[in-house]
Chain A
C-alpha cells in the first residue's frame, strides 16, 4: 500500500514539472530569457512540501533535464556553453537542497500531527473511561480504542473464572479461532512470572499473526487484547507497539482507579450497613420489648388483685405470665447481645471492681429464677479487685448460673466461689449436673450448641455460654470448663484480670 502511494507522489512530482513547463515556454517565447532554471526549482519545492524528499529530488533532477532543453538551441538537451553548465549545476544543487530541507520540514510536521492525533485519542480514551462504572466497560472501551487507533481488528479476551478465557463481544458465528484464545491464556499465565513481556507476537499456524497485549497491572492478568496483524510477515512496527502500549497504560491506570473507587464504595456500604443494623437493633429492642413490658406489668398487677390473689391457681397463672415474659425478654437480650458481638460493637467500660459485687449482682438478678435452689456461696475474704466491665461480667455470670441451674438436678446445690489462684482471680460456678466429656468441653461454647445428652432436660437457645465466653474474653479474661467426666458435675472457672493495687487513703481507717 505504501509503495503505491510513493509511486503516485513521483508521478505527481513529474506532473508538477510538466505544469512548470507552461510558464517556462511562455517566458522563453515572450522574453529573451537566458535560463529557465529558476522556474524549474518551484516544482521541487512544492513536491518537497507536498510529497516528501524523494519526489522532491526527482522533481529537481527532472527540472534540471528540462531546463537544459530550453538552452539554445532550443529543445535539445545538448549543452553547449560553460555558463549554461554552471547554471544547470547550481540550480540542480539549490533544487536538491531546498527539496531535502522542505522534505525534513514536512516529515517533522507529519510527526507533530501524528503525536497530536495520538494525544487526542488518548484523551478521548481517558475521558470515556472515566465514565466507565465497571471493569467490563473499561475492557470494552480499551478494545474499541485499540481497534480504532491501530486500524486493525482487535479481539478482547477476559478471564471468566478458573482456567477458561473467553472472547468478549463476539457473536457466536464470528468466534475467533480456539488457538487464539489458547494463545491468549498462555500469554496471560506467562505474565504472572517476573521479567515477562507486556506485549508479544503470536504466530498461529492456522489463525494468522496476532499482537497480544496484556491489560492490567503487572501480575496475573484479567484481560488480553489480541490485535490482528494480518498476513504481515514482518514484526509489528515500533509505532504500533508504542501506540498499543500507551492505550494499555491508560486502561491499567483506570482499572486501578476503579479498584480504589470500589474499596471506597465498599467502606461506605459497610458504614450504611452498620447504621442500618443499629436502627434495626433499636427497633427490634423497642418493638419487642414494649409489649413485653406491658404483659409483664399487667400480669404483676393482676397477681395482686384481691380476686386473683385469693385463688392460688389464678395467682400462679398470672405469676407464670410475668415470669415467662421476663424469660422472653432475656432471650431477646441474648439475641441483641449476639448481634452486638458479631458486629464488633462490644465496648467494655473498664473499672476496678470488687469481684464480690459482681457475684452478688448476678445472684440478685437470678433470685427469682434460682428460687428453691440451694446456692452455696464461698467468697474468700479480701479478694483483690479486678479490672473489668462489671455489667458484662455480671451478665456472663448470670448466663453461667442459669446454665448450671438448667442442667443440675433440682435438689443438688450450686456452689459459687471466688478465690485467688496463682496470682489471678477465679470465679467458679460448680453444679452437680451431668458433667462433660472431652468433646463436649470443646463444644459447649459454640453458638447454638446444646449437648445431645442434655437435650431432653434443657430448654434454651444455646446462646448463653457462647455469650458468656465472649463477654469474659472482651474483658481480658477466660472461661475454663472443668469436669471429671460424665455424671460428675461441671465447674465453670472464670479468670479475670486484676486491677492495680490501691490501699485505703490515710485517715479513712479508724
Chain B
C-alpha cells in the first residue's frame, strides 16, 4: 500500500455525489487511509471547489441533480491536472467509453467496495505523481517490461515481440493500470486509420497474450474490459483480484 503522506497532509480527494450516505462512507474510507476530503453535492459546487482547493483526485458521481457528470468532466478537463474517477452505473458501456475518452482516468461501477475504489485511486494518483512518461521498467507478476530499452521478459526469460506487439504493450504500459478504450488504442497503433476494424486490435492482443501471458486462456496481465478496452494490470491490481484463489 502506498503511504499517502508523511506529514499527515495526504492527497486531497474531492467527493462529488448528491447522496449524503455515499459521501459519508467515502469520507470515512478515504480518511482512514490518510486522505483529506472535500465534499460537493452539485456540479456547481464541484467546479467551485475544484478551482479553490485544487484536489489531487475527483471522485465524480454521474447522477448529479444540476448537471450530468459528463459536462462536469468536460468543464474540469479544460484546466484540471488531477485525476478523475467516475462512479458509474451498470449496463452503460457506451457511457463509460465516452467518459474515458473525455479524460476520466478510471471508473468504478456502483455498488462497489471501498477497497476497489482505493486501489483505483492509488493507481491514478501514482500516475499523476510521475509526470511525463511512465516508469521506465514495469513489473507485474513474472512480466518485466523495459520501455526505454524495449526489452520484455517473462519469468526472467526474454520474449521477442513484433514491433506492433511491443507498441501495444508500450501504450498500455505508458498508462499502467488504466483502462484504454479500443479507440484510444487504435489511434496510437494505427494513427493513419484509427477507424479500422477493432478486430485487428483484438487479433494483435491475442498474439501478444500468447507470448507474455503464463496462461493465455486466462490472462493475468493484459485484461479485457468487455465492450470498453484493455488494461495492463499493476502488481497491486494483480494481487487484488486474488487470481490464485479463484483458479485453484
A352 CA to B182 CA, complexed, in Å: 13
Which of A297, A329, A389 interacts with B26 by CB under 8 Å? A297
Chain A's closest residue to B210 (CB) is A381
Determine if B224 and A360 form an interchain contact, defined as CB atoms under 8 angstroms apart: yes
- Could you tell me the distance in whole angstroms from the C-beta of B155 to the nearest C-beta in chain A? 20
Which of B112, B219, B223, B246 interacts with A370 by CB under 8 Å? B246
Determine if B25 and A504 form an interchain contact, defined as CB atoms under 8 angstroms apart: no
Determine if B111 and A502 form an interchain contact, defined as CB atoms under 8 angstroms apart: no
Residues of A within 8 A of B90 (CB): 333
A361 CA to B230 CA, complexed, in Å: 12
Q: Which stretch from A77-85, A111-119, A288-296 is at the chain B interface? A: A288-296
Chain A's closest residue to B30 (CB) is A301
Check if B2 is an interface residue, CB within 8 A of chain A. no
Which of B94, B203, B219 interacts with A503 by CB under 8 Å? B203
Determine if A294 and B162 form an interchain contact, defined as CB atoms under 8 angstroms apart: no
Residues of B within 8 A of A356 (CB): 217
A353 CA to B93 CA, complexed, in Å: 15
A356 CA to B29 CA, complexed, in Å: 35
Determine if A367 and B22 form an interchain contact, defined as CB atoms under 8 angstroms apart: no
Determine if A300 and B115 form an interchain contact, defined as CB atoms under 8 angstroms apart: yes
Number of chain A residues close to chain B: CB under 8 A: 55
A86 CA to B167 CA, complexed, in Å: 131
Residues of B within 8 A of A293 (CB): 19, 22, 110-112
Residues of A within 8 A of B111 (CB): 289, 292-293, 295-297, 325-326, 329
A394 CA to B225 CA, complexed, in Å: 11
Chain A's closest residue to B19 (CB) is A290
Check if A440 is an interface residue, CB within 8 A of chain B. no
Residues of B within 8 A of A374 (CB): 248
Asked, given contacts A300-B29, A357-B226, A391-B226, whether A504 binds B207 with beta carbons under 8 Å apart, the answer is yes
Check if B200 is an interface residue, CB within 8 A of chain A. yes
Question: Could you list 4 further interchain pairs (A-B, Cβ under 8 angstroms) beyond the known A301-B32, A360-B218, A375-B246?
Answer: A301-B114, A374-B248, A385-B202, A508-B207
Could you give 23 example pairs across A and B, Cβ below 8 Å?
A285-B89, A291-B21, A295-B111, A296-B113, A297-B111, A300-B25, A300-B113, A300-B114, A333-B90, A352-B197, A353-B226, A354-B205, A357-B226, A360-B219, A385-B202, A391-B227, A502-B197, A503-B203, A504-B204, A504-B207, A507-B164, A508-B203, A509-B162
A504 CA to B162 CA, complexed, in Å: 12
Binary interface encoding of chain A residues 289-311 relative to chain B, with 1 for a CB under 8 A from any of its CBs, else 0 = 11111111110110011000000
Check if A235 is an interface residue, CB within 8 A of chain B. no
Chain B's closest residue to A296 (CB) is B111
A374 CA to B248 CA, complexed, in Å: 6
User: A residues bordering B, Cβ < 8 Å?
Assistant: 285-286, 289-298, 300-301, 304-305, 322, 325-326, 329, 333, 349, 351-354, 356-358, 360-361, 363-364, 367, 370-371, 374-375, 377, 379, 381, 385, 389-391, 394, 499, 502-505, 507-510
Determine if A371 and B246 form an interchain contact, defined as CB atoms under 8 angstroms apart: yes
A450 CA to B111 CA, complexed, in Å: 28
| Interface SS of A by simple majority | helix
Check if B63 is an interface residue, CB within 8 A of chain A. yes
Number of chain B residues close to chain A: CB under 8 A: 50
A356 CA to B219 CA, complexed, in Å: 9
A325 CA to B246 CA, complexed, in Å: 21
A116 CA to B245 CA, complexed, in Å: 95
Q: Within B1-56, which residues are at the interface with A (CB < 8 Å)? A: 19, 21-22, 24-26, 28-29, 32
A290 CA to B22 CA, complexed, in Å: 8
A296 CA to B25 CA, complexed, in Å: 10
Asked, given contacts A353-B202, A367-B242, whether A394 binds B162 with beta carbons under 8 Å apart, the answer is no
Asked, given contacts A391-B91, A504-B204, whether A298 binds B25 with beta carbons under 8 Å apart, the answer is yes
Across chains A and B, which 8 residue pairs bring their CB atoms closest together, nearest first? A300-B113, A294-B21, A293-B111, A379-B217, A296-B111, A357-B224, A301-B29, A298-B25
Check if B75 is an interface residue, CB within 8 A of chain A. no
Residues of B within 8 A of A358 (CB): 226
Residues of B within 8 A of A297 (CB): 22, 25-26, 29, 111-114
Chain B's closest residue to A509 (CB) is B162
Check if B206 is an interface residue, CB within 8 A of chain A. yes
Asked, given contacts A367-B246, A370-B246, whether A352 binds B199 with beta carbons under 8 Å apart, the answer is yes
A430 CA to B113 CA, complexed, in Å: 31
A508 CA to B161 CA, complexed, in Å: 10
